[in-house]
A and B are shown apart, each in its own frame.
Chain A
Amino acid sequence: MPTDAPPTSPRTRSLIVPVIALLRKDLLLLLRDRVNFFFTFFFPIILGLFFGLVFNNPAPPGISLGVVDEDQTARSQAFVTQLQSTEGIKVILNPSRDAGFTAVRKGKLTACIVLPKGFEASSSSLFRGQTPTIEGVIDPSRQATSGLLLGRLQELAFRNLMTSFTDPASVKSTTADARRALLESKDLDPVRRAALNVLLNSVETLATDSSANAPSNPLAPSTESGGGFSPIKIDLQTAAKDDSKSPRHSFHITFPSAVTWALMGAVMAFSTSLVTERTHGTLMRLTTAPISKGQILLGKAAACFVTAFLAQAALIGVMIIRAMPQSWPLLIIAMTCAALGFVGLMVLLSVISPTEGGGGGLSRAALLLLAMFGGGSIPLAFMPGWMQTASSASPFKWAVLAIEGAVWRGYSPTEMLLPCGVLLGMGAVCAAIGWTLFQQRRLM
């Protein structure tokens, strides 16, 4: 309250104090109006949570795995083929390491791995202790799946290992390599050398014997445990954060969508409040007080702004339990612009709605339609193309777009100008029309 503020001129005081009184009064009334309060603050949160959890629940969506084959050998290609037939993994071949990693950062791929040059060579020199290394990056928001992905890759490598034991040709070449290596290593203990020779012999025998009853499908689920031994080394890094332009969590979709209902609640709550004041007789007290009509409208607008902003803030407050926005400053700008835009709409509606019943009902229906088309029912990101275009007519769409721009679309401040500009422009035009009509009209 401005009592403690530095001394203000009586003129400024008489401009500001009544507006603050109107603002406080309207917020207090909203707080005590269960229906409007529920629809502005709780209903959107319930929607955001409900759909957010529903869409998040069924097993995490499959892993889309980018694969960059730098080795381009029979073995690396076989590895890719095997990956492609692995359940739960969708393989997308990427031409280059950069393209693949960028796709992960943008959220287009869950992860991307690189089969480096020398992949074939290293995987055949099993006994030389040179484990093939697979490099890769994973989307930070999908780290929960990184364990799963690693497991799948290891499993595949193990199966390959088993295959190499059951394929006589492959085993022969491997053991031949090993023997050569054995001969070359002059400083090996003779006892050990003899033992390894015996081992290699028995491996060759085993391979020839078992080839007859080798599993027809080398990729049949294997239950063998690696016993702590890894046939391949996988180095999976987390992709750099933040410049990905896709939602990382279902909340990133459902909460910005729910913003439409919060804004709608705020507009509804205040667009009929002038009419309510008229029918309840309190408007006559306002008009006989030493305040101008403009101050009355400004008080309503201020209350609507605070409500619209807080209702959005409440939604974001719940969203961040699971999913953080990319940019806080842009988000606050987006929320402010959305609130201002819809305050303008409220001003216009409150001036043109003639009665509490009829006009209110009509504007309610129109708003509802705009909200549904603007992303309130079907999230913008899921709309078919024509509908996304059509939705541009709805101010709600621009609010959702601005919020999404800050939450996950990775908008730059320049990109933010469009949705914010549309919101502010719409608000200004509506408010100007409403203001003009209001000034021409007698209040009582």
Chain B
Amino acid sequence: MLELRDLRKSFGSTLAVDGLTLSVRTGEVLGLLGPNGAGKTTTIGMAIGLVTPDSGTVSLANRGSPADPALRHHLGVAPQALALYDDLSAEENLSFFAGLYSMPADLRRARVSATLDLVGLTPRRDDRVQGFSGGMKRRLNLAAALLHEPPLLLLDEPTAGVDPQSRNSILDLVRELKSRGTTIVYTTHYMEEAQRLCDRVAIMDKGRLLALDSVDRLISAHGGHSVVTSITASGESRVQTADPVKEIAAILARGDVQAVQEVRIERPDLESVFLNLTGRSLRD
């Protein structure tokens, strides 16, 4: 669906993206996970033809660069920086963006209504964006990318600065879009979101792609061992193991089942993967 090959981009002395190669498969949700400054937004910018790479190529649906206006029908973008007209209402914003895609007026009205519904902004359709909460603006920003039902959707930090309720509704929406067959590139620095949503996750740091695989395989390859904690009358014991189930069975087999008060498994997550790959925490 989208091929990025050996992309490189620097701003002055900052190397924002450093030789990134990535292939997005049709129908998948691909997560771009990395801390702030990892180069995610720059990567999206190059993927949609907004930022010219210093070197490397981008190919959209095997048809060439998305800088070509004719190919832009294939993609929808929800930029990290909100791109909305504050002085227009939700409906006027969407209606304008739909106009850019040359939709006939009746289709445009239908699509605007359906999209407002999808992001739950129908009750506020006539209100100016100016008065919207962060979450509402994010949802409208996302809606603007969905209007023309693009097969490829690029969402750059779609949950930045939103309340938990809006975040959940955005995550539900992404799942809904995936179930309709949309290919999605989802950028985030929240590993929970990547873990919950993504079929595959690309871990980025300092402009480089460190690993790319399904969440489970990333964890088993780079996450390290699970930690099994058991609490008995005699105290607490922590054991690192590759096979927590076997470890629990062993604990139970060792002694009096009654004596075991609690057993906890701490599975490694993407956070541990990032820690193991970079030596730093994702949250730093």
Residues of A within 8 A of B82 (CB): 281
Which of A1-58 touch B at CB < 8 Å? Answer: 1-3, 10, 13-14, 17-18, 20-22, 24-25, 28-29, 32-33
Tell whether B87 is near chain A: CB-to-CB under 8 Å.
yes
- B48, B85, B100, B106: the one contacting A29 at CB < 8 Å is B85
Of the listed residues B83, B84, B99, B103, the one surrounded by the most CB atoms of chain A closer than 10 A to its CB is B99
Which listed segment binds A: B68-76, B193-201, B206-214, B275-283?
A: B68-76
A333 CB to nearest B CB, Å: 31
**One of A74-82, A181-189, A286-294, A351-359 contacting the partner:** A286-294
Q: A28-B92, A287-B50, A442-B52 are in contact. Are A21 and B100 (CB under 8 A)?
A: yes
Q: Is the CB of B102 within 8 A of A18?
A: yes
User: Which residues does chain B contribute within 8 Å of A191, judged by CB atoms?
Assistant: none
A441 CB contacts on chain B under 8 angstroms:
none
Whether the pair A18, B105 counts as a contact (CB closer than 8 A) is no
B84 touches A289 (CB 8 A): no
Given A21-B96, A281-B81, A285-B144, A290:B101 Cβ within 8 A: yes
Q: Are A13 and B83 in contact (CB under 8 A)?
A: no
Number of A-B residue pairs at CB separation under 8 A: 90
Residue of A nearest to B45 (CB): A444
State in angstroms the CA–CA spacing of A3 and B79 once bound together: 31
Contact A291 B100 (CB under 8 A): yes
CB distance from B241 to the nearest CB of A (A): 48
Q: Mark B47-60, 1 if CB is under 8 A from A, else 0.
A: 01111100000000
Closest to B67 in A: A287
Asked if B12 is an interface residue, CB under 8 A from chain A, the answer is no
Question: How far apart are the CA atoms of A313 and B99 in the complex, in Å?
Answer: 28
Give the docked Cα–Cα distance between A284 and B50 (Å): 8
Within 8 A of A (CB), among B14-51: 45, 48-51
Q: How many residues of A contact B (CB 8 A)?
A: 31
Task: Verify if A280 is at the interface (C-beta below 8 Å from B).
Answer: yes
Which of A20, A280, A288 is within 8 Å of B77, CB to CB?
A: A288
Count of chain B residues with a beta carbon within 8 Å of a chain A beta carbon: 35
Residues of chain B with a CB closer than 8 A to A17's CB: 99, 102-103
Q: Which of B73, B75, B84, B99 contacts A20 (CB 8 A)?
A: B99
Q: How far is the CB of A296 from chain B (nearest CB, A)?
A: 9
Closest to A30 in B: B87
Interface residue B190 (Cβ < 8 Å from any Cβ of A): no
Q: Of residues A285, A288, A290, A444, which shows the largest number of chain B Cβ atoms within 10 Å of its Cβ?
A: A288
Q: At the interface, yes or no: A210 with Cβ under 8 Å from chain B?
A: no
- Is the beta-carbon distance between A289 and B100 smaller than 8 angstroms? yes
Docked-complex contact A25 and B85, CB < 8 angstroms = yes
In the assembled complex, which residues on chain A have CB atoms less than 8 Å from the CB atom of B72?
A: 288-290
Is residue A412 within 8 Å, beta carbon to beta carbon, of the partner chain? Answer: no
Q: Is the CB of B105 within 8 A of A281?
A: no
